[in-house]
Amino acid sequence: MVKKAIIFGIVFLILGSAIAFANSPPKLIEGHAEPPVATPGTLIVYQVTYTDEDDDAPEYVKIIFTGTEAKEMRKISGNYKTGVVYEFSWKQNDSFDYRFEASDGKETAKLPWYGGTLAPVNIISEKLETNKIYFFSKENNEPLWSYDIGKNQVQNAVISDDGSRIAVKTNNYIYFFSKDSNQPLWKYQCETGAEDPSGGSGWVDISADGKYIVGGCRESLNLFSESGKLVWTYKDNIGIYAVSISADGEYLAVGT
């Protein structure tokens, strides 16, 4: 009886140890490139989020472009259990399919998980130097007005529920217009840096009455009043890629 108990205890100890030291494989999520459309020589920023339930740091996180060598990605922010953002940026002249890969030293994670590739950044051959913002009425296809933004590229545009106010996000700026004029009521320049002269990523949204505007830049989330006053800003060493504000302006959501 004692012998059986000892054997049972040893087996239980072995199984318990195996369970205790079982490895949770890492995961890669939220891989993307910004901007999705660019001219030759534009700095393209690639990001992916690495998570590991064991809180294991990765041996590597890489981005692999079709037909080129794998590139090491650098850690930006976060913790391994909830997610660490990794980034790689370079000036790109051609379009490449790409995928992400990481390892915790025991198992490998891929994005896409099935081993395929993600759609490439669309590199357009023509240098766009005469970009514009247009404002239309539903009555006809003739613009009510337009505004020249030069080499900047529009990332998104939103309009208040009554159509009286328009907010636009470009590479470098957040613009705010009245429907009655093509001259901005105000504009805000996003932060720039040596690694990202374009001002980076971002998005913009507007409350239903047009009294509050939220805009994302490369490293900040910004809330403005209708007059252009900066109500507050939230800064972090991450890209802001999507923002939304509730109709009454009370709540904001952001995606990085």
- Residue 158 pLDDT > 90: yes
Percent with pLDDT over 70 in the chain: 84
Query: What's the pLDDT at 188?
Result: 95
Q: For 44-83, b where at least 16 C-beta lie within 10 A, e where not — what string?
A: bbbbbbbbbeeebebeebbbbbeeeeeeebeebebebeeb
Helix, strand, coil percent content, the chain, rounded in steps of 5: 5, 45, 45
pLDDT tens across 208-224, in order? 999 999 998 877 889 99
Please, what are the domains in the chain? 8-15+21-123 (2.60.40.10), 131-255 (2.130.10.10)
The average confidence (pLDDT) of the chain is 85
pLDDT (average), residues 227-234? 94
pLDDT in tens, 57-116: 999 999 999 988 899 999 999 999 999 999 999 998 888 999 999 999 999 999 998 888
- Among 198-202, 214-218, 239-243, the range with the most confident prediction by mean pLDDT is 214-218
- Residues 9-23 have a mean pLDDT of 55
pLDDT of res. 4: 55
pLDDT in tens, 28-52: 999 999 888 888 888 999 999 999 9
Q: What is the reported pLDDT for 31?
A: 92
Please tell me the pTM assigned to this model: 0.57
Whether the Cβ atoms of residue 45 and residue 89 lie closer than 8 Å to each other: yes
Contact 146, 183 (CB under 8 A): no
Q: Give the tokens for residue 82.
A: 């909830």
What per-residue confidence (pLDDT) applies to 191? 73
Confidence band for 18, pLDDT divided at 50, 70 and 90: very low
Q: By three-state DSSP, how is residue 213 classified?
A: strand
Q: Give residue 127's pLDDT.
A: 58
